[in-house]
Amino acid sequence: MKALADARPARLDPDLDSRPDPYAITAHPQPTGTPAARRPARRLVLAGVLPTMALAAAGAVFLTIGAGGTGPAGTSGAGGRTADATASAPRTARDVLLVAAERSGAGPTSGGRYWFSDQEHGTVREVGPTNRRYQIVQRQGMRVWDGISPSARSVAFVRDLGAVPFTAADRAAWQADGAPTQWVEPAPKDIPDAEPIIIRGTPGPETIRWDAARPMPPDATGGNVPYFLAGGPISRAELAAVPTEPAALKAWLLNRLKASEVQKASNDALCWSAQDLVVDLPVSPQVRAAAYRMLADLPGVTSLGEATDQRGRAGVAVGFARKGDGGHWGQTRLIIDPRTGQALASESWDLGAGRAPKATGALQSYTLVVSAGFTNDSPPAPQK
């Protein structure tokens, strides 16, 4: 999807803000190379922050935990523990999720003029000479100040964090390739007027992706930027009314999914929706706890044991896999801090083809929750 966005001719988008944002159309995890298996997307879909193209795709966490990332006063970084802190972590997926529900449900429901979220999104891509390909991680950061009070200004910043070699072996191959600082990929042949895709290895300046001082997008309601959940956009007022009991939450999500034209009502969709509630959306602790408890009772959710996210923060992981129409298995992983019940990251993996998913696979993409929470600090100027 990022390739599609990058390949779109610039002349078709005279207004920079109307150019497709690839993270608005990032799909639920399905393996690379099997487009028929891809499902509609989810991902921090603030419809005001991301373009209306996000509404063609289908549908995180209020953190109050220790250092590891920094944000405005009143917010917290996600994680910062060492690996041995998981020694007493629960071992089954159900135990992990029920403990997460109990420990995350006691957080404050408000406390600031803004909901602040700082996330890093990464996609693994293959580059380099034909006979010596290697992998890099293309990274983008997004910081959002979503105004809670009517007078608060909502704004989102995005920044190209630069692509880096994925593994030590990839770094060696990158060095053998002359340590390039950018890669140019040919334009997709099946897209009319497509342009070459440029991937840069150096960070760029932060830019304003959306600002509430500009006219509200046509799908904004009630003066609030709508988010995206269970197959459709959802406003802050609607998020405030999400059920806080697991059975009621499941029924409510299924009703939304049945009414959706972009996502089917299924256990997979319920898993994705639960993940959205505990990773991306500014909901109450009670709603997050209900999402964890609902996820604990869904079939196919498995424990993956101790895990570290792409910043090396330690936690425990649960996953759910599905076989796509193309025959490949895709798996979504949720990495949780067992001491606090807060999500550190979500990841998409390719577990290969076959009758059953492989025990190990290849990382496709990830989202890190660097910092999130309520704050009274106003949005700053973009970072240079």
Tell me the CA distances in angstroms from 211 to 36, 49, 155, 309, one per residue in order.
35, 8, 4, 31
pLDDT in tens, 264-287: 888 888 999 999 998 888 888 899
Q: Which of 109, 121, 114, 118 is nearest to 71 (CA)?
A: 118
- β-pairing, 328-336 vs 314-323, is antiparallel
Please tell me the least confidently modeled range out of 75-89, 245-259, 360-374: 75-89
- Give residue-wise pLDDT tens across range 78-108: 554 444 444 454 578 998 899 999 888 776 6
Name the range with the highest mean pLDDT among 13-22, 90-99, 128-137, 321-330. 128-137
- Cα→Cα distances 182→21, 151, 165, Å: 20, 42, 12
* Residue 297 burial by Cβ neighbours in a 10 Å radius (0-12, 13-18, 19+): middle
58-67, 114-123, 284-293, 344-353: least confidently modelled range = 58-67
Say yes or no to pLDDT of 10 above 50. Answer: no
